[in-house]
Structure 1
């Protein structure tokens, strides 16, 4: 088959980091090729080189057999290369059509020929099976449809090669299936697709070939039909990984957390949590599923004292913790693994031992009469490093020097070692490789088995299904349904995540069992 892209010996260096180390990559006409690897492995950097956003220190790029220099995205587009970034670049108060033709508008005289633009957009959408309304405002359509608009933007500009960066990160299960069909339609028309991802299940369902990158180097390139999830995980991490969460039946204890009629607004003053009620018991993991932006972040911030609610009631072990400060929340018995480990979880320039006591730095045995006992703190941190397998030269190095996975282990260790009644784990494995994910999952299950309550908030539906004993789905600031794990599957949760109801699930139960 014809090679449409060939990258040879690509090396890209940032200060202190070799992001791509002599990387070879090729793409064939009409195939979907996955770039697989943990966050920070160098996948997106390699594609940013191909798209002209970065210039490599060395290496060559060939498009359809001809060596090219791609110094900016405009040159990439002229060569038929389009890229859909993880964070969409759309004007929210423009229509779908206006966004797609922006910068290349058809004109009638000096004016935009909106009728022709609309027809051109509809023709492309129909050809590839995109279900989008050309006249809808971007702010009024779902995230999945916004992604389709980004793909249509590239196709409108003549893209023959499409790069999709983490395309399923914010989609419902149904939208992921629809994306898979769109990719098949593109393949059938002779387009070539590069998917950047770390989700192994989607690799197997969507791709023809896989190239695995670890720490900037290619560790393997295989045909998807000749491999399996276990082999890919090992190539990603460098060792065998247990991908199944092992846990016994939950031993439910008494109620730990009760939330009643909670309402809160976001930073713009718009209602983000809407009359929400929920309980979490000791000895269980309650997972909250939902597409990003449906109030999960604001809910966590209210529970941890980082945001003031408008009204409602929150009790922990029967004690009122509504409107408490973050320190009072910690002291009441809540551990918090935050969704943004750099912003909320660590002081990056501090040492590991300083980070290990954040939240308890004012208490004994770490603080004696207002003075921190550094000998005790370092002994404690060394214990954490050993027990939680934090890979580091010593406790004196800065938190910034650790990998993302080891930073997350340090945060999880600190929060678990506080011996809280409730652990709030928000996106606890975001951006981690499968090895670090395996470890974090194991520790959360261990805490659940000790009788702790665990509130898991994750955008990864596989993670919610693997860990949870009950699953609540959050949509538009509300809990739209709570299911026992044994009654839940991707299809049912997907219906709720898209704004459906439990009644709709019951009505269509035969079709989705």
Structure 2
């Protein structure tokens, strides 16, 4: 059997941790090969070794049968290997074309030939059905379109082997379908793909084979047609995983959050949230379902003090809270798991311990008269790290060194530990594996059962239907329907999310 890529017995160490322990992965030509593992299992590390970002301590890499030393991404590009990173490497003010040619600028007499480059980008976009405008600015296009730019960047550099690192973590259901179609088109054109993921549904739908790694070690490589999601989940986390969240019937009591007729403008001054009313009671989880870009981000920012509202009221336990500073909002009893953990959840260069007290560092026992008490800060961090199974070498490790899932668990631990009356959970399981998702869903339901009010915003319909007690569907900044998750179907929710008339898909009732 001829493989286009062979990674044989790869070992990669960092201070205090073995990220890859004797891992082997072999990619056949023309296949989509999944690399499956928990958050922090070593998937991205292994692919960063293949892409030349890290050098392994042991092991051998072969490309089309020949041993190679991949000392940098440029060497990987020259060998026909391209990587689409989970966090896009794009410059916002630049155009699509400028981003794609960055570092490989075609020049005539020292002058960059943007016209020729733009033409080539357009040709590649048409060939692979990517529908990207070469002249659009990155800042003006959607997340899904930005990902296509990353794919185009690898194709422009002549990649035959593409590595996709958690490509669907930030995409809507519709964009995921489109990406799967793009991957299939790439395979038809003779490309080979390694797909880093923990989404079992996607593996079953699109992959030929899957290699499972757990805690840095290779567990098994299987043909996808010979396995099933339950087996893969067990191999990935080392135990049986419950996909359906067990919960008792909600017993809602008093209204905690009451939003009345609010209007919120986006950064361009256009109304993103219009005349929206919503209430969340103690002891219930209200899920907000909607396609990305229908006002969810602006709503969250308004509720957490990050954006002003131009009309309406927001009350918490009967007291008006609109247009208050974020600190006042959090001190009033609001917890916030932000949708973008890097932008609004963490200071990446601070230690994980320092991040755990970001909301409380100025209060006793963490500080007194303006002087921080490191002993108490790191004691608290150790408690939350243990309780929330945050996989980190220590509480002193910089937050940016942790995998996305472990960063998320630290944020959730921090917010829940503060014991807020209202917990706003925005995309709480984005980029997480099945084991971590199961853990977080249990925590959200535990909070509900202790009498907390939970507002869950998610693009994952499975999550919304599984965890919510009621579902509020948002479309173009308005709540268009409130539905019962026990009676609603995915098709009905999908129609409502796409703007179908309320009467067609279920009547609007009060929350």
**TM-score class normalised by the smaller sequence:** 0.7 to 0.9
> In the alignment, which residue of structure 2 is the partner of 1:258?
258
Distance 1:416 1:20, change over 3 A: closer
CA-CA distance at 1:197 after TM superposition: 1.2
Deviations 1:371-411 (A, max 9, x none): x9xxx999999999998789999999999999987886676
Q: Which moved more, 1:80-89 or 1:448-457?
A: 448-457
Indicate the SS of the match to 1:89: coil
The answer for unaligned runs of 5 or more in structure 1 is 509-513
Deviations 1:83-102 (A, max 9, x none): 11122234445554554455
* Contact 1:170–1:459 under 8 Å retained in 2: no
Alignment length, in residue pairs? 506
> In the alignment, which residue of structure 1 is the partner of 2:208?
208
> In the alignment, which residue of structure 2 is the partner of 1:74?
74
- CA RMSD across the alignment: 4.8
> In the alignment, which residue of structure 1 is the partner of 2:501?
503
CA-CA distance at 1:176 after TM superposition: 1.0
The answer for unaligned runs of 5 or more in structure 2 is 507-511
Deviations 1:35-75 (A, max 9, x none): 11122221111111111122222221100001111112222
CA-CA distance at 1:161 after TM superposition: 0.6
Distance 1:26 1:409, change over 3 A: closer
Q: Which moved more, 1:310-319 or 1:224-233?
A: 310-319
In structure 1, C-alpha distance between the alignment counterparts of 2:358 and 2:103, rounded to whole Å: 50
* Contact 1:495–1:505 under 8 Å retained in 2: no
* Contact 1:171–1:291 under 8 Å retained in 2: no
Distance 1:477 1:103, change over 3 A: farther
The residue correspondences of 1:323-334 to structure 2 (distance < 5 A) are 323-324=323-324, 329=329, 332-334=332-334
In structure 1, C-alpha distance between the alignment counterparts of 2:409 and 2:110, rounded to whole Å: 59
In structure 2, C-alpha distance between the alignment counterparts of 1:231 and 1:71, rounded to whole Å: 36
**Aligned: 1:3 with 2:3:** yes
Distance 1:106 1:407, change over 3 A: closer
In structure 2, C-alpha distance between the alignment counterparts of 1:43 and 1:464, rounded to whole Å: 27
Q: Which moved more, 1:57-66 or 1:244-253?
A: 244-253
In structure 1, C-alpha distance between the alignment counterparts of 2:501 and 2:107, rounded to whole Å: 49
In structure 2, C-alpha distance between the alignment counterparts of 1:341 and 1:143, rounded to whole Å: 15
Distance 1:347 1:223, change over 3 A: same
In structure 1, C-alpha distance between the alignment counterparts of 2:379 and 2:141, rounded to whole Å: 53
Distance 1:397 1:172, change over 3 A: closer
In structure 1, C-alpha distance between the alignment counterparts of 2:397 and 2:139, rounded to whole Å: 45
**Aligned: 1:171 with 2:162:** no
> In the alignment, which residue of structure 2 is the partner of 1:224?
224
* Contact 1:107–1:113 under 8 Å retained in 2: yes
In structure 2, C-alpha distance between the alignment counterparts of 1:205 and 1:356, rounded to whole Å: 38
* Contact 2:38–2:435 under 8 Å retained in 1: no
Q: Which moved more, 1:176-185 or 1:290-299?
A: 290-299
> In the alignment, which residue of structure 2 is the partner of 1:511?
none
Distance 1:425 1:106, change over 3 A: closer
Deviations 1:313-365 (A, max 9, x none): 11123332334455654564444445577987799999999999997899999
> In the alignment, which residue of structure 2 is the partner of 1:185?
185
CA-CA distance at 1:290 after TM superposition: 5.0
